[in-house]
Structure 1
Amino acid sequence: MSYERFVVVGDSCAEGLDDPYPGGGQYRGWADLVADGLAEHNRAVRYANLAVRGRRLDQISTEQLPDAERLRPDLAALFGGGNDVLTPGWNATTVAARVDTAVRRLADSAPTVVTFTLSDISDRMPFGRRLRPRIEALNEAIRAAAGTYGAILVDLWPDQAARDLRYFGRDRLHLGEHGHRRVAAHVLDRLGLPYARPWLDPLAGAPARPGPRAQADWLLREVLPAARTRLRNRIIGRSPGDGFLPKRPELLPVTTR
């Protein structure tokens, strides 16, 4: 099938953190790579990315879905839920309802919808095993909504690449260059579009396990500052992502890089 109007909604993973274009500046990410892949098959494709880092599913529905509906996509993708998992006051029933609402509205707007489960962070993040039940509940809700509304599901939960830190950025939470390429390949594969890239092949060599010194440095450099920022935002009533705008708010032709 040939797509001409590709719209993405979601959080930082949909925006493209942590995969900057060469030379810095704007983030690339799996969605830009999928748009490039679509353009290789149809030069008429146009692409919008409404995702904003830090957004929960209810914020995505309120802030991004009205614009997505206005753009009338024939292919839409939703990558979200990670910030719901990290938010104090987690409630599985509430989050499942948010998932259902977001996927239903997107499916009402686009004939083809792609959505994603989250990968297993339990081996690479502090307190990851404590978050695992939340991620499993979120993923079950995403699978259920995909089945109910006929969305294409990219199931990242069983992907063994989640155990290889080379797929992730410095914070080990956001995907890095290799991770975004891998997700893009999963999407193109599920859409039935060929791609002449080995992005789903395992990375060469064995993944290195960080030693105690590297672990301590990572905790001081990445984890503690992020925790302080989240606590400060809670105190002042600020949400992560406040003040950020979508990187590509309108449908524009795709210029492959």
Structure 2
Amino acid sequence: MAYRRFVALGDSTTEGLWDINPDGSFRGWADRLAERLAQDEPDLQYANLAVRGKLARQVVDEQLEPALALEPDLASVLSGLNDMLRRDCSVLSVIERIDQLIGSLRGAGADVIAFTLPDPVPINPIAKGAALRLRNLNLAIRDLTAKHGAYLVDLEAQPVASDRRLWHVDRLHANPYGHARIAAAAAEAMGLEGADSSWTQPFTDPLGPRSTVSHAVWAGKYLAPWVMRRLRGVSSGDGITAKRPELKGVRPL
């Protein structure tokens, strides 16, 4: 079917970090998918409520009601990684929040796209502590999509999703190539015309090891500020508002 109102909910991945437009704004997989959807429905209206740093409960509290007010016929839910990176997080609570998001949107008549999250360890070895929590969350998301009849984009099931060549140097966000693959994965899950499994193909050349210098640069530029924010109880999303809070037209690809 051709969708007319697409609303994206979530955190930094859906906001589009670090897939940068020429004007410096963030594009991201959701923008890319909207551009693809506009090929089938030129009158498509698209809103993106995602904000970096948001936890699952914040996505529910801050984005769900505005999303429902926009009366989408398609919505996306990608949330939970920020929670899983916290040692004190309750995986069960996050699962309940995502259940609420998907269930509420489906109950309002929207088709919903939901995502498992890739194994973070090949991208960032210090994420080993979050890996088990993430696996449990992914198992639940598979169950929730079946329960609610939502589209599932199973990124965890594809090893290439954890290839660091698809990730920004901050080791937390996708780069433009990664966002393009996520958009292609969503298109395949939805059965859009012309979509296929080519996004799952691995790179043909082997991946070399990281240098000691690269680890040191990453720790100083990205890890240390993240730790400091946690210690101060602040978020990268504080003071940030949604980049596209209202439905607007989209230029097709």
TM-score, with normalisation over the residues of structure 1? Answer: 0.91
**Aligned counterpart, 1:62:** 61
Q: Which amino acid aligns with 2:217?
A: D
Contact 1:123 1:129 survives alignment (8 Å): no
Q: Does 1:209 align with 2:205?
A: no
What is the count of residue pairs matched by the alignment? 252
Contact 1:37 1:195 survives alignment (8 Å): no
List 4+ stretches of structure 1 deviating above 4 A: 195-201
Contact 1:72 1:109 survives alignment (8 Å): yes
The CA deviation at 1:109 is 2.3
How do residues 32-181 of structure 1 correspond to structure 2 at under 5 angstroms? 32-181=31-180
**Aligned counterpart, 1:19:** 19
The CA deviation at 1:180 is 0.4
C-alpha RMSD over aligned residues:
1.8
CA distance in 2, matches of 1:186, 1:50: 21
Contact 2:122 2:164 survives alignment (8 Å): no
CA distance in 1, matches of 2:214, 2:23: 25
Deviates more, 1:211-220 or 1:191-200: 191-200
Provide closer, same or farther for how the CA distance between residues 239 and 210 of structure 1 changes in structure 2, counting only shifts above 3 A.
closer
Q: Identity over aligned residues, as a percent?
A: 39
Name stretches of at least 5 consecutive residues in structure 1 with no aligned partner. Answer: none
Contact 1:15 1:247 survives alignment (8 Å): yes
The CA deviation at 1:8 is 0.4
Deviates more, 1:8-17 or 1:122-131: 122-131
CA distance in 2, matches of 1:111, 1:214: 44
The CA deviation at 1:24 is 4.5
Name stretches of at least 5 consecutive residues in structure 2 with no aligned partner. Answer: none
Q: Which amino acid aligns with 1:229?
A: R
Q: Does 1:252 align with 2:248?
A: yes
The CA deviation at 1:143 is 1.5
1:115 partner SS: strand
**Aligned counterpart, 2:184:** 185
Q: Does 1:231 align with 2:231?
A: yes
Deviates more, 1:177-186 or 1:122-131: 122-131
The CA deviation at 1:96 is 1.8
Provide closer, same or farther for how the CA distance between residues 101 and 196 of structure 1 changes in structure 2, counting only shifts above 3 A.
closer
Q: Which amino acid aligns with 1:244?
A: I
Provide closer, same or farther for how the CA distance between residues 188 and 222 of structure 1 changes in structure 2, counting only shifts above 3 A.
same
2:134 partner SS: helix
CA distance in 2, matches of 1:196, 1:77: 18
Contact 2:160 2:200 survives alignment (8 Å): no
TM-score, with normalisation over the residues of structure 2? Answer: 0.93
Contact 2:95 2:137 survives alignment (8 Å): yes
Provide closer, same or farther for how the CA distance between residues 69 and 125 of structure 1 changes in structure 2, counting only shifts above 3 A.
same
Contact 1:121 1:162 survives alignment (8 Å): no
Contact 2:14 2:30 survives alignment (8 Å): yes
Provide closer, same or farther for how the CA distance between residues 205 and 126 of structure 1 changes in structure 2, counting only shifts above 3 A.
closer
Contact 2:29 2:179 survives alignment (8 Å): yes
**Aligned counterpart, 2:221:** 221
Deviates more, 1:52-61 or 1:186-195: 186-195
**Aligned counterpart, 1:243:** 239
The CA deviation at 1:196 is 7.5
Deviates more, 1:168-177 or 1:118-127: 118-127
